[in-house]
Amino acid sequence: MAISSILGYPRIGADREWKKALEAFWSGKLDEPSFQSRLEEIRLGHLLKQREKGIDLIPVNDFSYYDHMLDTAAMFGIIPKRFRYEGGTVPLSVYYGVARGTKDAAASEMTKWFNTNYHYIVPELEGAVPVITENKPLAAYREAKEKLGIEGKPVIVGPLTFLKLSKGYAESETDAWLGRLLPLYVHILQELEQEGVKWVQLDEPILVTKLEDADNKRLKTAYETIAASVPGLNIMLQTYFESVENYQDIVSLPVQGIGLDFVHGLKGNIASLRAFGFPKDKILGAGIIDGRGIWKAPLRDKLGLLQELTNVVAPERLIVQTSCSLLHVPVTAKREAKLPPELQNALAFADEKLDELKLLTRALSSGVESIRDDLTHCDHDLEALELSDARNRQDVQHAVLELRSKKPQRKQPFEQRHIAQQKKWRLPILPTTTIGSFPQSAEVRKARQQWRKGEWSEERYEAFIREQIDIWIKLQEEIGLDVLVHGEFERTDMVEFFGEKLAGFAFTQFGWVQSYGSRCVKPPIIFGDVAFEQPMTVKETKYAQSQTKRPVKGMLTGPITIMNWSFVREDIPREHIAYQLAYALRQEVEELERAGIGMIQVDEPAVREGLPLKAEEQAEYLSWAVAAFRMTTCTVQETTQIHTHMCYCEFHDMIDSIEAMDADVISIETSRSHGELIHSFEENTYKLGIGLGVYDIHSPRVPKVEEMTSMIRRALRVLDPKLFWINPDCGLKTRGIEETVDSLRNMVEATRIARGKYTLKV
């Protein structure tokens, strides 16, 4: 008989209890014992819910105090020397110092977890001597068993994935590092085996990417070593986010189970299964419920897929599970009473996915007839959404079809535009600016809440926003910035703000997901055809420009970022959604230009994270992603300067695509990666305007002038000072007012020092 499982459950809680506990602890409102007690309560509550929902094999150790990669590094004592870790169990002060930075030490790099919007802390191996500081999976297993009677499935990041996603070692040191880590993994697993653990989930999502032959050999070595060391332990080698590469080699590894993604990796994994079958001595973890999407599963289709799988794998050797951890979706859809019925009824968040797993497992065990009514309800709910007016706007569909037939491009090449823009703006060499947002104080958040509740009138709220703009326009002038921004005080989130003003979007009340650390976002839902309805940013930007003689940038979020940071419909290709967004945003760009705004920033921080994991699919994605950006920006005059911004991704493999976007100025994060992105420009020529973020805004510290001077100096070795801008690496919404002002003052001072070495030649 088949059983059900998931790969992980959301940490944050239905009311973001986890986030609130972390932030209360960081601010000193919770002492450490109270904090530990609160997190235990949240953690056990999640396990109880899974048991009540009927999940057979419940994961443990998927819960984290910040991030699972950081947890693994801490378990092995891999802590950068600058945090002065002295051995033993890693204190929370050090753990959170690595994640967030301290007054004296910069935080470790943070980057995207494969092609998701979750960010992980990158382990730094340089100088580390790995040892076991604590057996976290064992502690999680014991807690679940002793306190709840749950026989849990410990979840651990696998050795190859952990190593490949870490930094601070040369390629030639890879085998040596695997040799250091493997004994630690073996020790952890041996203690789990001695405890009587039945199943351990070793996550190896790196196996869905293209690996070198040497890495495939390392994988074989690692799992042969593990198999020989823990012969009595069942290992589920778990993959997700795509189909595995080297299927035959992977399924021949000496493990007891293989977990495959039959949602996002359906095409490749099912083809491999059909061509090569599946080992008779292994369990198949069949990921058929989407762990990343929020739509109700078409249960009849899923049953058809399960039927095909059972033709290859006997039902008793099948675990019906999610395609990946449910970390990437909100907790429950049941509370979303304000959504249109046709939308609400088509949603399935984490808890609803647990129900779907139970239904499918029951159908396998007791026959399809046992869930007949559930199948009928599912069919009805999905059909109602498909036939809704929101998904069938002929005006939008025809307009986008026409736009797609034309090549989007600016009328003049960059070289000509640059001369015209320099003549118009007369900016100094190394112009300074910020990315867009300024601190949203408790006062700002309270005002917005009062306005949303109807306690404040529209007029009162607008007056308040203008006051905030006035304050920060004056501050920017006093600090000495060259290009200003209005501060985005009217915006909650860079995607939600635009989604609320465009047709085709819906917003949940409680649909929060973790982005990084305690940072939670509430992604919009793109459920219909997207359309521009009225100007969205003109009023505030035009007002800000009226308060200063310096240029003020209009601030928009780009089409690819809005798409990648939303939950999107699945009935049309993502490319078509991107073009609908681009068409709507183009109209906003044109409205800003008509209002006299001559610098417009269209942020695209999420372009890289949408890059397909399969190399053969990347060129097509980048082609239409670039086209969508250009479609948004190509109609402006040559003197209108288009900016964009990208952050927290590796860009070395897409510099050509970034240049093809043809933005007059792009700002890219470099500080959190300690300037490593500059190496990309040491190997690749970049001919457009560029600003490499010179300090990390996610760390609660004021960077020193010398730090930023050093970053600027290194960048100017490979980038043209006539095209170089200086800015923070991201928006400043989450920072405090005092630290923001002090950091920007230091940035301007670093710029002044750098300017002393160059003379602008127009």
Residues 697, 735 contacting (CB under 8 angstroms): yes
Q: Is 634 annotated as ligand-binding? A: no
Q: Is 455 annotated as ligand-binding? A: no
Q: Which residue reads 């059900």 in tokens?
A: 4
d(CA 247, CA 244): 6
CA angle 183, 187, 193 (to 5 degrees): 140
Q: Is 674 annotated as ligand-binding? A: no
Look at residues 224, 189, 201 and name the one whose alpha carbon lies nearest to residue 6: 201
d(CA 461, CA 452): 10
Positive or negative, the CA dihedral 65, 69, 73, 79 is negative
Checking DSSP bridges between strand 119-121 and strand 153-157, what pairing results, if any? unpaired
Residues 526, 549 contacting (CB under 8 angstroms): no
- Phi, psi angles (nearest 5°) of residue 365: -85, -40
Q: Is 730 annotated as ligand-binding? A: yes
DSSP 606: T
Taking the C-alpha atoms of 50, 51, 56 and 60 in order, what is their torsion angle to the nearest 10 degrees? 60
User: What residue type is assigned to position 702 of the chain?
Assistant: V
Q: Is 488 annotated as ligand-binding? A: yes
Q: Is 112 annotated as ligand-binding? A: yes
Residues 12, 332 contacting (CB under 8 angstroms): no
Q: Is 11 annotated as ligand-binding? A: no
Q: Which residue reads 């653990």 in tokens?
A: 197
Q: Is 647 annotated as ligand-binding? A: yes
Checking DSSP bridges between strand 513-516 and strand 519-521, what pairing results, if any? antiparallel
Q: Is 565 annotated as ligand-binding? A: yes
d(CA 59, CA 356): 17
Q: Is 659 annotated as ligand-binding? A: no
d(CA 588, CA 533): 10
Structure tokens at 151: 């026989």
DSSP 607: T
d(CA 703, CA 709): 11
Q: Among residues 328, 418, 486, 698, which one is catalytic?
A: 698
The residues with which 600 forms a beta bridge, in sequence order, are 554, 642
Q: Is 191 annotated as ligand-binding? A: no
d(CA 264, CA 268): 9
Q: Is 520 annotated as ligand-binding? A: yes
Structure tokens at 752: 């002044």
Q: Is 673 annotated as ligand-binding? A: no
d(CA 143, CA 146): 5
Q: Is 19 annotated as ligand-binding? A: yes
Active-site annotation holds for 486: no
Q: Is 609 annotated as ligand-binding? A: yes
Binding residues: 16-19, 112, 435-437, 488, 519-520, 565, 603, 609, 645, 647, 669, 730
Binding residues for Zn(2+): 645, 647, 669, 730
Binding residues for L-homocysteine: 435-437, 488, 603
Binding residues for L-methionine: 435-437, 488, 603
Active site positions, annotated: 698
